[in-house]
Amino acid sequence: MAIPDFQTLYRPLLEYAAGADERRLRDAHDALASTFDLTDEEREQLLPSTAKITGSDHGNHLY
């Protein structure tokens, strides 16, 4: 399966986030990848305008 675009990912992400008071970003990545049956190789790919987010960088993207 091709990597889904933002519009395709958005609703499942919102549904995942609504399932609990708090969620970790890494867990959201894994849940969405599983939802769309992405391979390990696809999970590691970056979109052209995306930088890989790790460690303390997560806080910069959350409010």
DSSP, res 29: H
pLDDT confidence band for 63 (50 / 70 / 90): very low
**Total-model pTM:** 0.61
pLDDT confidence band for 48 (50 / 70 / 90): low
Task: Check residue 11 and give its pLDDT.
Answer: 92
Give Cβ neighbours of residue 32 (< 8 Å, ≥ 6 apart): 9, 12, 13, 16
| Alpha-carbon 51 to chain mean position | 13
| Separation CA 8–CA 18 (nearest Å) | 17
Least confident of 16-20, 39-43, 45-49, 55-59: 55-59
- In this prediction, residues 47-58 reach a mean pLDDT of 53
Top-confidence residue, 26 or 48: 26
